[in-house]
């Protein structure tokens, strides 16, 4: 296929590098920053040295932009794509967008497949992109009843060729509910955790748990603000759940209630052990 990736940040740049390294497809790039286009071309991970604006020649258009500009771009681009081409995106929020873009794409003879690659880094931008980023990662696809099944298979095949290990299909609304917990809440907690004044004294006192808790605090504020607001109802539910359980710990510690505190810790340990067993069973 002839593929164009729109938006050459961390994910888009990594897509270009993975596709050009591990597949026989031709990959091109589109980005507002001409410096990024030149860097990608010099690294031989895209075939064009200038920004792509004509999308009628491509078999697949992959949009790697933040949710708001991604929706705007796709709505404007669909009418300029060739009939039968596949439009896809990597937005971390799906929901109603998938339904709307699927409908619009069908009206224009284009096949839309919503996806979410579960991979990333604590840094962002093309300079940190990596063609091996997706090796062993999960790849979520969010088809609805009207999604073209052959297009889904094509997108999933590309993902496997790029190094993704597990393909997960979910409805766009289920995706948003689960991702609020597994991804967005973790970023909120990390961003709040580093605001303690004790953060300035951690050098020499921190180990793995501190690194795990603070890694995602270096998130891209523009992108994550968009994701949080777009998914606010589901994310607020998860924040409220966390506050409730933190309150239980606080009360037990404040009261010196050893039995209650041990029970809270035990409950958490058991839940995590069950989660680990489930993961192992799925891998087998």
Structural domains in the chain, CATH included, are 2-170 (3.40.50.720), 175-283 (1.10.3660.10)
What pLDDT is stored for residue 63 in this prediction? Answer: 98
Structure-block tokens of residue 158: 């590309």
Cα torsion for 218, 221, 227, 229, to the nearest 10°? 130
CB 71 within 8 A of CB 90: no
Check: CB of residue 11 under 8 Å from CB of residue 120: yes
Output the tens digit of pLDDT for each of the chain's 284 residues: 999 999 999 999 999 999 999 999 999 999 999 999 999 999 999 999 999 989 999 999 999 999 999 999 999 999 999 999 999 999 999 999 999 999 999 999 999 999 999 998 878 899 999 999 999 999 999 999 999 999 999 999 999 999 999 999 999 999 999 999 999 999 999 999 999 999 999 999 989 999 999 999 999 898 899 999 999 999 999 999 999 999 999 999 999 999 999 999 999 999 999 999 988 887 76
Please, how many CA atoms are within 13 Å of residue 75, restricted to the half-sphere of its CB? Answer: 10
Q: How many residues does this entry show for the chain?
A: 284
Asked if 120 and 13 touch (Cβ cutoff 8 Å), the reply is no
Other beta carbons less than 10 A from residue 209's beta carbon: 8
Q: How far is CA 58 from the centre of its chain?
A: 24
Closest to 112 in 3D by CA, of 126, 95, 100: 100
pLDDT for res 120? 84
What sign results for the dihedral spanned by CA atoms 125, 127, 133, 139? positive
Task: Give the whole-angstrom CA distance, residue 270 versus residue 160.
Answer: 34
Distance between CA 205 and CA 284 in Å, rounded? 38
């Amino acid at each position: 296929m002839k593929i164009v990736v729109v938006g050459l940040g961390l994910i888009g740049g990594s897509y270009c590098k993975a596709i050009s390294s591990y597949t026989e497809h031709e990959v091109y790039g589109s980005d507002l920053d001409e410096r990024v286009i030149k860097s990608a071309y010099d690294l031989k991970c895209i075939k064009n040295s200038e920004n792509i604006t004509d999308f009628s020649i491509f078999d697949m258009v992959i949009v790697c932009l933040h949710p708001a500009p991604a929706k705007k771009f796709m709505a404007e681009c669909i009418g300029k794509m060739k009939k039968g081409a596949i439009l896809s995106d990597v937005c971390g929020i799906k929901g109603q967008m998938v339904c709307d873009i699927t409908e619009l794409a069908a009206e224009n003879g284009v096949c839309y497949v919503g996806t979410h690659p579960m991979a990333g880094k604590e840094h962002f931008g093309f300079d940190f992109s990596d063609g091996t980023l997706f090796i062993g990662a999960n790849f979520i696809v969010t088809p609805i009843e009207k999604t073209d099944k052959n297009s889904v298979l094509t997108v999933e095949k590309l993902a496997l060729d790029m190094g993704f290990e597990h393909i997960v299909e979910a409805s766009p609304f289920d995706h948003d509910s689960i991702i609020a917990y597994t991804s967005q809440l973790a970023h909120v907690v990390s961003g709040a955790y580093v605001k303690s004044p004790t953060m300035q004294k951690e050098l020499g006192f921190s180990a793995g748990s501190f690194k795990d808790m603070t890694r995602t605090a270096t998130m891209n504020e523009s992108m994550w603000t968009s994701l949080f607001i777009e998914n606010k109802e589901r994310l607020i539910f998860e924040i409220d759940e966390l506050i409730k359980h933190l309150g239980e710990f606080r009360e037990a510690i404040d009261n010196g209630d050893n039995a209650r505190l041990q029970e809270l810790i035990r409950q958490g340990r058991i839940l995590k052990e069950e989660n680990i067993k489930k993961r192992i069973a799925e891998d087998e």
